[in-house]
Structure 1
Amino acid sequence: MLLHINTTSDWQMTARLSNGDQRSEYVSAAILAAQEYCRDNRLQFTDTRRRVLEILLEAELPLGAYAILSQLNDEGFGSQPPVAYRALDFLESNGFVHKVDRLAAYVACANPHQPHSPSFLICRNCGSVQEARITSPHRAVRAAARAGGFRIERESIEAVGICASCSSSGH
């Protein structure tokens, strides 16, 4: 299990999480910070929103809305798609998660509440996704948009290739 985190924010740990104890500490810290953020910004961090964020923080791979919904249903949160989509919309609009368009799936944000445009490195072999901090391509896209009078509403870069783990194992 590998979760790549590239940040120094208060609630993220710079670590490669390779065991359950590290993962559990990371999830607990992230949930606590999300609760504090919501409290400080007068946002409702409902049980469903909390659980969806936990599911994504615990996941080894990006998850689609229906995979999240299935887990929510198994835990008694409901089985209707709006249950998952409303929670995901809230979490995405408040910087807790990102949608990886290429996969139609979601990942927990590695840099929550830090201004950034997400960049994803997607392994075509194992399906892992790493959020990378890349600034130059984003600047170029924004400059081109300004020059063309285009207003960007959402921006992300998704690169597909082979992750280090798959490369070292010969895939």
Structure 2
Amino acid sequence: MPCTHAHDLDQQLLAATRRCAARGEKLTDQRREVLALLLAAPGAMKAYDLLAAIQKQKPTAAPPTVYRALDFLVAAGLAHKLDSKNAFVACHDFEHPHHGVMLICDSCDSVTELSDDTLEARLAEDAAAFGFAVATQDIEVKGLCSNCRNPPGKDAA
């Protein structure tokens, strides 16, 4: 769920700061700015869209700045990379970082993150049965969100 209210955004950034501190890391201004953009976005964002947004305030910002911030945010469990879209989305729960199931709308690019400890454990267990060590298990499921399936004004059949 995107974070749209200033109070919610402040709370999320505070939680991210705590998460970083617990890991012995720092949420720098650049990382915070990229994370804030992801939190405020209605869906996934590509790195160059993030760069364009940052360049509105800092015209000299360069791609490596955004890519380094994104690498950090993903490694810290604060964001997810959606490989199928080559885009990024903020994690919905910084206090309990995890790998989840990403429901990605093909029409509006909105992303809903589901957490299911049972599913995660089962995937890791099944993989281990084949001698496979799971590094990450973000699962991307593509389809249509409820808003795109049932736009306002469309009569239900």
TM-score range, shorter chain: 0.7 to 0.9
- Structure 1 gap ranges (5+): 5-16
TM-superposed deviation, 1:135: 3.7
In 2, distance between residues paired with 1:148 and 1:77?
A: 50
Contact in 2 for aligned 1:66/1:81 (Cα 8 Å): yes
| 2:141 equivalent in structure 1 | 159
| 1:61 equivalent in structure 2 | 43
1:1-171 → structure 2 map (5 Å cutoff): 3=1, 23-76=5-58, 78-169=60-151, 170=154
- Structure 2 gap ranges (5+): none
* Partner AA of 2:144 in structure 1: I
In 2, distance between residues paired with 1:77 and 1:44?
A: 24
* Partner AA of 1:60 in structure 2: P
In 2, distance between residues paired with 1:90 and 1:77?
A: 22
Contact in 2 for aligned 1:95/1:113 (Cα 8 Å): no
* Partner AA of 1:122 in structure 2: I
**Runs of 4+ more than 4 Å apart:** none
In 1, distance between residues paired with 2:48 and 2:125?
A: 37
Give a deviation string over 1:62-102, Cα, whole Å, max 9, x none: 10111111222222174322101110111111111111111
Contact in 1 for aligned 2:108/2:148 (Cα 8 Å): yes
**Structure 1 residues 151 and 124, CA, compared in 2 at 3 Å: closer, same or farther?**
same
Give the 3-state SS of the residue equivalent to 1:63 in structure 2: coil
Aligned residues: 152
- C-alpha RMSD of matched pairs (Å): 2.0
TM-superposed deviation, 1:37: 3.0
TM-superposed deviation, 1:36: 2.9
* Partner AA of 1:117 in structure 2: H
TM-score between both structures, scaled by the size of structure 1: 0.79
TM-score between both structures, scaled by the size of structure 2: 0.86
In 1, distance between residues paired with 2:120 and 2:136?
A: 11
